[in-house]
Amino acid sequence: MATKSEHPDSNLYPHATGPAKAIVDAHQAEQPLKLFSGWFCPFVQRAWTVLEEKKIPYQYIEVNPYHKPASLLALNPRGLVPTLQYQDKPLYESTVLCEFLEDAYPDHGPRLLPRDPYERARVRIWTDFCTSRLIPAFHRFLQWQPLSDGEGLGRVREEFLGRLMELAEEMDGEGPFFLGKEPTLIDFVVAPWIVRLWVFDHFKHGLGIPEGADEDAVWSRFGKWRQALEGRPSIKNTTSEREHYLPIYQRYADDTAQSELAKATRQGKGVP
């Protein structure tokens, strides 16, 4: 239990588990590119999956961002993860990091931004949609209280499902990924929240995708995409065992979490 001097959310399992631990253990050697990370954080997982997808050499450094070690604060005054140290210089903000890795390491792994300018712009439009619309709706649903207010819970559930449907309607018809057969940046930017959709079954009486959704073209396409993301090695192997996420998401579900995102959600704001 956190003491009075500790951040109330600081009591975290100390390291990644399951397949993610193997990835962490394989990236302990000194490297010019360093990822300051929190194994549990979906914003971290955005950059982490891109590093893995492109097979860029990096050193993984686990930090508890609620304790904000001096090594992290020296790079990022806000003390947030993910933060990259690149040639002894700091970089942060998860979507910025993802695009940086694409630009700075063009010879590593698959291209995650299309060459076509129009398709690149579409990826950026829907990347912004995920951060500005989808993730806030995810948290309004997850943090809704009280559960006894079924009408209010239904309202935030429908808002979130509406955002998922908006995204699915823009996907390539065949897929399985957003733009087609191969994943692009948009897939990795939103994947951490898609692989955490189980939190609604666990804490909020279900995600609520309509019955018979398999017969609906949009929801069927969404299901195909979700399955592709969950099976992608770079995503699956940066995900820890569910039991260690439960205490974290319990605090969100109870609306007692004190992260910057949780507080912004309570204030009716977007991603800080």
Rounded CA-CA distance 209/2 in Å is 37
DSSP string for residues in 237-266: TT---HHHHHHHHHHHHTT---SHHHHHHH
Q: For residues 50 and 104, is the Cβ–Cβ distance under 8 A?
A: no
Rounded CA-CA distance 191/197 in Å is 10
List C-alpha distances in Å: 84 to 7, 80, 232: 23, 11, 23
In terms of Cβ atoms closer than 10 Å to its own Cβ (0-12, 13-18, 19+), residue 236 is middle
Residues sharing a CB contact under 8 Å with residue 195, sequence separation 6 or more, in sequence order: 229, 230, 235, 239
Q: For residues 230 and 195, is the Cβ–Cβ distance under 8 A?
A: yes
Q: What is the dihedral of CA 83, 20, 229, 272, to 10 degrees?
A: -30
Where b means 16+ CB within 10 Å and e means fewer, 171-199 reads: beeebbbbbeeebbbbbbbbbbbbbbeeb
Q: What positions carry a catalytic annotation?
A: 41
Residue 54, both tokens? 């492109």
Residue 218, both tokens? 């949009």
